[in-house]
Structure 1
Amino acid sequence: MLVHICCAVDSHYFLEKIQEEFPNEEIIGFFYDPNIHPYNEYRLRYLDVDYSCKKLGIRLIEGPYNLEEWLKKVKGLENEPEKGDRCTVCFDDRLETTVKKAIELGHDKFTSTLLISPKKSQDKLEKIGAELTSKYDCEFIFRDYRSGKGSQEQGLVVKENSLYRQNYCGCLFGLSAQREHQDKVMDEMFNPISNQILPESIESRLELYKKRDDLEEKNIPYKIIKQRFLNYRLMSGITKIDKKIIPSYFLCYSTLNRNSMNGRIEYEKDEIAYLNRDEVKVLSLKSFNEIGNSTYQTVKDLMFNPPTFESELNIRNKVTNNPYGLSTILVVDELIDGKYEIELNALIYEDVKEVII
């Protein structure tokens, strides 16, 4: 039996039940989810499914990540609600690809872990499965493992196995509608030009669950817990001196009261300039290198190859004695005595992140 898998949160319990009910079947997992966006989220979910399948002794096959083809299929349905027509098209695509793969592998049965997801319509999935059974002469196994205490048992399995519990279905359109309804920042779609790993970004989650896998392999005890914290995202920042734009790098947690300011150097010490407005500090690259023990040659080099987020917090702490202070701290190649004009668009918001202890 080939089992289409959408994510480990939905698949682990479902696969356990399938193994119990069909002990003589060769169960193979098929991860085919071109709807998942962005790509690092796709990689994270695949990593988690691979981890889950290894625990269950199930062979896993990865399907193609043909996002562009999927986008063409759902064109015009971008604003459909969850469980609407866009989801139907998505089900059609993933289940038909699954049944074709099942036949290719010589299987006579197929199913999908989408059946256990509380955000998916079982009626639609059962109907599509029946149509594909008739079309391809390969039996769709419909099972409702979420009724009764199924959802509760599934939740316990997720906790016991430290699985990644994602907070959106996977597709861009579902995510954007969900975040708009929640009035939350859609930070899943932030991709800084510096490639710096930001707090509670998909990239940071990917690193965390890679560490989980490593601890599991080494049989080292651990636990994943959640922590509330104040998150930060820099949208844009520009620095002008005497009306000329210069390369500048804004340290994390830099903010301005009105997103813009202009001022002059009021005091200078150890290659750090203190402007006369909005508590702005300006570091020369030389000072930044000394404080951060780095060897950047230019600010442009710093912009595209920054230190870690944690290193920036340490530098902020050394400058202001407060790692989470909100004063703007920017780095320039050299301090210039002139009129500084700064435009800064940044977001600060409450968030929750997972950490391993």
Structure 2
Amino acid sequence: MLVHICCSVDSHYFLQRLQETFPQESLVGFFYNPNIHPYEEYLLRLGDVRRSCQELGIGLLEGEYALEAWLEEAKGLECEPEKGKRCEMCFTMRLNASAQKAVELGIKRITTTLLMSPKKSLPQLESAAKEVERAFGVSFVSVDFRKGGGTQAQFALAKEAGLYQQNYCGCVFALTAQREAQKKPCVELTFSLANQIQPGSINERLELYETSQPKRRQRFLNYRLNHARVMQKEQVIPSYVLFYSLPSKPLLQGEWKEVEKGIALFSKEPALMLTLEVFNALVATQFQDLKQLLASPVGVEKELHVRQKLEGALFSLTPILVVEHIPQGKTTLSLEATLFDDVRELLATFR
């Protein structure tokens, strides 16, 4: 039996139940999910499914990551709600590819772990399955392992196995609608230009799930810098903005007064500017110029270490900027950022 797999949380319990229910069947996993966006999220879910299948002794095949083809099919359906026509299209596309793979392999029966997801419509899945049966001549195995406490057992097993429990369906349209309802930015769609690993990001999760150690969840205040620029007489002064820098206004004009060698205060509101030399001394680095720092920034933990040293508190929101030289005279500071409550995953260690 070929089993289309959407994610490890749905598949881990589902595959075990299939093994128990159909002991005579040899199961082949097929990961085909071109709807998942961005690609890093796709890699994260694929890696977790691989670990799950290895543990269960089930072979896994990977289908094509055909995102552009999926987006083409989704045209006109972008604003459809969950369980709407976009989901119907998505189910049909994924089951068609699964049936085609089954025919290539000479397999007569297929099913999908989407049947396990409590957020998916069983009638929609069964409708898509009937189309696939007619088109490819395969038999679709429709099982409902949700009932009788199956959903609760599914999530308990996923937690026990340390599986990655994603916080959105997978497609970009469902994600943006969900984040708009939560009044939170789509951090899943934003990446540091210099590949800095930022808290709560998919890249942080990718690193975390490279280990099989137990994880825990942490509620925290997340931060994303949207825009920053220091100007003087229509000239941009290259600068680097530290994590948690949040001014009271997005546009400020004033002067920087040096209070210690290489450290200056802003005249209009709480803000700090320090030279690259001072920054290097605080984080024990040897950046030769600001271009080098911008291209290969230190980790967020080191930026918070600088904030702690200068402000005496991690919860400070004072804008802190790194420059090569403190500017003399009036400057314009344009800085916009977003601060929001969020949840991230960490290793379940405390020492």
TM-score range, shorter chain: over 0.9
Q: Match for residue 344 of structure 2? A: 353
d(CA) in 2 for partners of 1:160 and 1:104?
36
Deviations 1:9-64 (A, max 9, x none): 11111101111111121111111000000111111111111111111111111111
Q: Match for residue 308 of structure 2? A: 317
2:224 partner amino acid? R
d(CA) in 2 for partners of 1:264 and 1:137?
75
1:272 alignment partner, one of 260, 263, 268? 263
Q: Match for residue 172 of structure 2? A: 172
* Deviation (angstroms), 1:135: 2.3
Question: 2:251 matched to 1:260?
Answer: yes
d(CA) in 1 for partners of 2:260 and 2:162?
50
Question: 2:303 matched to 1:285?
Answer: no
Tell me, what secondary structure is at the counterpart of 1:345?
strand
d(CA) in 2 for partners of 1:294 and 1:351?
30
Q: How does 1:59-98 map to 2 (within 5 A)?
A: 59-98=59-98
d(CA) in 2 for partners of 1:79 and 1:265?
48
d(CA) in 1 for partners of 2:256 and 2:84?
58
1:2 partner amino acid? L
d(CA) in 2 for partners of 1:285 and 1:132?
62
* Deviation (angstroms), 1:336: 2.2
Q: How does 1:84-233 map to 2 (within 5 A)?
A: 84-212=84-212, 215=213, 223-233=214-224
Deviations 1:222-279 (A, max 9, x none): x322121111110010101244211111000101001221221233313111222211
Deviations 1:310-350 (A, max 9, x none): 11111222222223311011011212212121011011111
Is the 2:92–2:132 contact (alpha carbons within 8 Å) kept by the matching residues of 1? no
* Deviation (angstroms), 1:281: 0.8
Q: Match for residue 9 of structure 1? A: 9
* Deviation (angstroms), 1:165: 0.9
d(CA) in 1 for partners of 2:146 and 2:231?
59
* Deviation (angstroms), 1:161: 0.6
Gaps of at least 5 residues in structure 2 are none
2:65 partner amino acid? Y
1:285 partner amino acid? L
2:104 partner amino acid? E
* Deviation (angstroms), 1:83: 0.8
Q: Which moved more, 1:2-11 or 1:135-144?
A: 135-144
d(CA) in 1 for partners of 2:261 and 2:121?
64
1:330 alignment partner, one of 321, 330, 339? 321
1:182 partner amino acid? Q
d(CA) in 2 for partners of 1:190 and 1:174?
16
Q: Match for residue 300 of structure 1? A: 291
Q: Which moved more, 1:69-78 or 1:127-136?
A: 127-136
* Deviation (angstroms), 1:299: 1.3
Tell me, what secondary structure is at the counterpart of 2:209?
helix
TM-score (norm 1): 0.95
Q: Deviating runs (4+, > 3 A) in structure 1?
A: none
2:90 partner amino acid? C
Is the 2:256–2:326 contact (alpha carbons within 8 Å) kept by the matching residues of 1? no
Aligned alpha-carbon RMSD (Å): 1.2
Q: Which moved more, 1:46-55 or 1:293-302?
A: 293-302
2:8 partner amino acid? A
Is the 1:242–1:338 contact (alpha carbons within 8 Å) kept by the matching residues of 2? no
Tell me, what secondary structure is at the counterpart of 2:210?
helix
- Residues matched between the structures, number: 348
d(CA) in 1 for partners of 2:284 and 2:331?
27
Tell me, what secondary structure is at the counterpart of 2:342?
strand
Tell me, what secondary structure is at the counterpart of 2:65?
coil
1:72 partner amino acid? E
d(CA) in 1 for partners of 2:127 and 2:343?
38
Identity of aligned residues (%): 46
Tell me, what secondary structure is at the counterpart of 2:328?
coil
Q: Match for residue 239 of structure 2? A: 248
Is the 1:243–1:341 contact (alpha carbons within 8 Å) kept by the matching residues of 2? no
d(CA) in 2 for partners of 1:169 and 1:120?
10
Gaps of at least 5 residues in structure 1 are 216-222
d(CA) in 2 for partners of 1:150 and 1:235?
43
d(CA) in 2 for partners of 1:299 and 1:76?
45
Tell me, what secondary structure is at the counterpart of 1:303?
helix
* Deviation (angstroms), 1:79: 0.5
d(CA) in 1 for partners of 2:304 and 2:196?
13
